[in-house]
Structures are given as C-alpha cells and as structure tokens.
Structure 1
C-alpha cells in the first residue's frame, strides 16, 4: 500500500471542500427558487430527461446512485408536494414506477435556468476551457473507477452527451 503524498492530501481536501461548498450553494438556490432540497431537484431532473418521464424505483436509484431507502424517503416527500407520483407495474406488482407530474415539470423548468446560471457563475466562470475539459476527465475517471469499470482514457473522456437540464 502506498502512502498519500502531500499533493494528494491537498487535492483531496480541495475537491471535498469544492463539492460541499457548491452543493450548499445549489441547495440554497433550489430551496429558494423551487421550495425543495437540491437532492429532490436532482431526482426531478433525471425524470425530466428520461423519455416518458418515468422510471422504476430501482432504475432511478441506480442513476442517482442513491440507496432504495433514501430514494423512497425522497419520493414519499415529493409525492406530498405533487412533483411525482408512484404506481405499480401491471406485470410485476413488486415493481414501482416513479413518474414526473405536471407540477414537477413546472418545478424543473423554474429551477433549471437559475441553477445553470449558479453553476456557471460559481464553478465554470472560474475555470479556463482547458480546466473544464480536465475536470470532466477527472470526474469521469473517478466515477468509472468507483463504478467498477476500467479507468481508461475513453472513460476519462466520455463521448459528448446531451447537456443536462441543469446546465
């Protein structure tokens, strides 16, 4: 086992601080503009960007990298607010679907433009174009490694994907 270097420790602390500070800013913004925590907004965005705006609980949890219990708690609260609705599969009663409602669609459309502006102002405006590409490659490599996939140059620089609603 190799020891961490001072540079690795500084990089790790910087990354963790950046994630916490940015997540806090985005949470305050989604609370202010949408009346919801940023975690709920992320659920809505995944559904919004999905054809049919409906996923099984398991698929939604996997895409968000949430536990099923964490997602179930969020969905219960989001149902009360009218942003999503749950239904059971007609083929397999054990399978639950989560579907975005019209109110959820309106919330995504309200929060997204301001969220995109926040991300640009608080993150991307501080980086050069080269740094943005490096950030993309670094984040993709970390995610690929954590997801158990091979960390290759291809994984570190994924093919262009559609721009997320929140940016």
Structure 2
C-alpha cells in the first residue's frame, strides 16, 4: 500500500483516526461473530426436531413461564428475548393461533399490552425444556464449565450494557447476579 492509501486507511470520512483492531481483537471478534451466527440455529434445530417449536418462540414462552402469573408486558418480553416489538408481535400471532399465549390490555395501563402464557403453552415449555437444557449444556455449558460460564455471563453483560441495557434490566429481575 502506498503512503497516501495508508494515510486514508487510518482515518474516517471526517478525518478522525480509526482505532483498528489488533490481531487478537480481530480473532476474538470473528470468533464471536461466528458464534452469534452458528449457535442460534444449532439450538433451534434441536427444539424444532424434539418439540416442534423454534428457538425464538421457546424463549418467549420460557420467559413467560418464569414471570409472575406467567405474564409480562410486551416491551419487557421483547427485551428478554432480545427481539424487536415487531418480531415479537409476529411470533405472538403464530403462538396465539396455536393456543400457547394470549394478549390482553395491561391492567395497570391499558395502553400497554400484556402477554400471558396459556396452560397449553406451559405444557409445551415443560415438555421442551429438558431437551433444550441438554442441548444448551452440551453446546455451551459443559465445554466452558461453571467458572467460565460465570465469566462469560459477566463479559456478555459488559457488552449488553453498551448495546442494549434494557435486556440487562429485564434479566436482572428474574436472574439477579449473585456476585460470585
């Protein structure tokens, strides 16, 4: 690369410096990117095969199953599953058609929508959970072990604090960090 191209490569469009990634940072980023692409289909395929439900729908129902009264606001549920309100709404329409969830105005504020897990949805989550947990354990938990799983959670929380702190707020209500 000639000197002029090298100089352009070290600046942004406004002329500011670009903090290029060091080789170890590139490696870590590429590994994380690959994991973000490879893990969801690996988890979802087991759920689909064993229970006929995809990973996103399972997470919605699992989140509801652990919420007080098996109910949550749509906004909190979207944060829990790290999805948009639009994606969640489409999934809820499918799940309502199957009798797994119901939507209703939230009693505390009729402008908000509450999602409730039905008995049929609860039965599906209960039936799917063992296979899901086995898959998660096989793909993530066992290869890392307990100590590294805690470290992974702490590292991911640091990134989520920047990317989407709402997810941390919602998860902390059900799964508070015990500090160990």
Q: TM-score, normalised by structure 2?
A: 0.76
Q: Report what 1:117 is aligned to.
A: 134
Deviation at 1:3, TM superposition (A): 1.0
- Indicate if the aligned counterparts of 2:71 and 2:114 stay in contact, CA closer than 8 A: yes
**Of 17, 28, 35, the match for 1:18:** 35
Q: Does 1:82 align with 2:99?
A: yes
Deviation at 1:25, TM superposition (A): 1.3
String of CA shifts for 1:54-93, please: whole Å, max 9, x gaps.
1122222233232211111110011011110111245654
Mean CA deviation greater in 41-50 or 30-39: 30-39
For 1:2, what is the secondary structure of its paired residue?
coil
Q: Does 1:55 align with 2:61?
A: no
**2: distance between equivalents of 1:132 and 1:92?**
38
Give 1:87-166 correspondences, 5 Å limit: 87-89=104-106, 92-147=109-164, 159-160=177-178
**Of 27, 45, 55, the match for 1:28:** 45
String of CA shifts for 1:35-58, please: whole Å, max 9, x gaps.
111000010011001010111222
Which runs of 5 or more residues in structure 1 are unaligned? Answer: 150-157, 162-167
From the superposition, tell whether residues 148 and 48 of structure 1 become closer, same or farther in structure 2 (CA, over 3 Å).
Answer: closer
Number of aligned pairs? Answer: 153
Q: TM-score, normalised by structure 1?
A: 0.81
Question: Which protein shows a greater Rg?
Answer: 2
From the superposition, tell whether residues 90 and 125 of structure 1 become closer, same or farther in structure 2 (CA, over 3 Å).
Answer: closer
The two structures, once aligned, show a CA RMSD in angstroms of: 2.1
**1: distance between equivalents of 2:109 and 2:149?**
44
From the superposition, tell whether residues 55 and 148 of structure 1 become closer, same or farther in structure 2 (CA, over 3 Å).
Answer: closer
**2: distance between equivalents of 1:77 and 1:16?**
29
